[in-house]
Structure 1
Amino acid sequence: MIVDAEAGRFRELLGRWLGWTFSDRDAGQLGPLLVERSHVHRMSRGEYLNRLAARPWNSEMTELIEQLSITETYFFRHGEQFRALREEALPRRIIDRAGQRTLRMLSVACSSGEEAYSLAISAKESLPGPDWLVSVLGVDANPAVLGQATEGWYSAWSLRETPEAVKRRWFRSGERGFGVDEEIRRLVQFRQHNVAEPDATLWRPGQYDVIFCRNLLMYLVPTVAQELVERMTAALAPGGFLFLGHTDSLGADPDGLELRQTHEAFYYRRRVPSADPPPMAAAPRPAPRPAPPPQHPPPSSDAYQKAVTLLADERFTDALALLPDPRLPRERLLRGVLLAQAGRLDDAIDTARRLIDDDGLNPDAHQLLGLCLDAATAVGEALAQYRLAAYLDPDFALPRLRLGQLARRDGDARTAAGELERALALLPAEDDLRITLFGGGFGRIALTTLCRAELDACGVHR
Structure 2
Amino acid sequence: MTAAGAEITRFRELLGRLFGWTFTDRDAGQLAPLLDERARARRMGRGDYLNRLAARPWADELTELVERLSITETYFFRHGEQFQALREEALPDRIAARAGQRALRLLSVGCSSGEEAYSLAITARTAAPGGDWLPSVIGVDVNPVMLELAAANRYSAWSLRETPDDVRARWFHQDGAGYRVAGEAARITQFRRYNVADPDEELWRPGQYDVIFCRNLLMYLAPEVAAALIDRMSAALAPGGYLFLGHTDSLGSGPDGLELRHTHNAFYYRRPAGAPAGAPPAQRPATARREPAPAPDQTYHRAVFLLGEERFNDALALLDQRPPEPERPRDRLLRGVLLALSGRLDEALHTARRLTEDDSLNADARQLHGLCLEGSGEVEKALRQYRLAAYLDPVFALPRLRLGQLARSRGDERIAAGELERARALLAGEDDLRILLFGGGFGRMALAVLCRAELDACGVPR
For normalisation by structure 2, the TM-score amounts to 0.87
Counterpart residue number, 2:229: 228
Counterpart residue number, 1:210: 211
Counterpart residue number, 1:33: 34
Query: 1:265-315 CA deviation, whole Å, 9 max, x = no partner?
Result: 11111122269xxxxxxxxxxxxxxxxxxx9944542x4344334434554
Counterparts of 1:178 and 1:296, CA distance in 2? 54
Counterparts of 1:450 and 1:170, CA distance in 2? 50
Higher mean displacement: 324-333 or 432-441? 324-333
Counterpart residue number, 2:332: 332
Counterpart residue number, 2:286: none
Counterparts of 2:166 and 2:449, CA distance in 1? 47
Matched, 1:362 2:368: no
Structure 1 position 414, deviation (Å):
4.4
Counterpart residue number, 1:392: 392
Q: Does the residue aligned with 1:395 lie in a helix, a strand or coil? A: coil
Instruction: Report the CA distance shift for 1:179/1:189 in structure 2 as closer, same or farther (over 3 A).
Output: same
Does the aligned pair in 1 maintain the 2:363–2:392 contact within 8 Å? yes
Counterpart residue number, 2:45: 44
Counterpart residue number, 1:316: 312
> Partner amino acid for 1:337?
V
> Partner amino acid for 1:334?
L
Does the aligned pair in 2 maintain the 1:258–1:269 contact within 8 Å? yes
Q: Does the residue aligned with 1:136 lie in a helix, a strand or coil? A: strand
Alignment of 1:53-452 (within 5 A): 53-273=54-274, 297-301=294-298, 303-312=299-308, 314-324=310-320, 327-379=327-379, 381-407=381-407, 414-452=414-452
> Partner amino acid for 1:208?
Y
Structure 1 position 236, deviation (Å):
0.5
Q: How many residue pairs were aligned? A: 441
Does the aligned pair in 1 maintain the 2:25–2:460 contact within 8 Å? no
> Partner amino acid for 1:403?
L
Structure 1 position 380, deviation (Å):
5.1
Instruction: Report the CA distance shift for 1:453/1:71 in structure 2 as closer, same or farther (over 3 A).
Output: farther
Instruction: Report the CA distance shift for 1:348/1:31 in structure 2 as closer, same or farther (over 3 A).
Output: same
Counterpart residue number, 1:278: none
Does the aligned pair in 2 maintain the 1:395–1:430 contact within 8 Å? yes
Structure 1 position 135, deviation (Å):
1.0
> Partner amino acid for 2:49?
Y
Counterparts of 2:451 and 2:188, CA distance in 1? 44
Percent identity for Structure 1 against Structure 2 = 69
Counterparts of 2:117 and 2:458, CA distance in 1? 29
Does the aligned pair in 2 maintain the 1:417–1:455 contact within 8 Å? yes
Structure 2 residue runs of 5 or longer lacking an equivalent are 277-291
Structure 1 position 243, deviation (Å):
0.7
Query: 1:166-187 CA deviation, whole Å, 9 max, x = no partner?
Result: 2232223343423222332112
Counterparts of 2:119 and 2:41, CA distance in 1? 39
For normalisation by structure 1, the TM-score amounts to 0.87
Instruction: Report the CA distance shift for 1:401/1:342 in structure 2 as closer, same or farther (over 3 A).
Output: same
Structure 1 position 18, deviation (Å):
0.7
> Partner amino acid for 1:347?
E
Structure 1 residue runs of 5 or longer lacking an equivalent are 276-294
Does the aligned pair in 2 maintain the 1:206–1:234 contact within 8 Å? yes
Instruction: Report the CA distance shift for 1:38/1:298 in structure 2 as closer, same or farther (over 3 A).
Output: closer
Structure 1 position 376, deviation (Å):
4.0
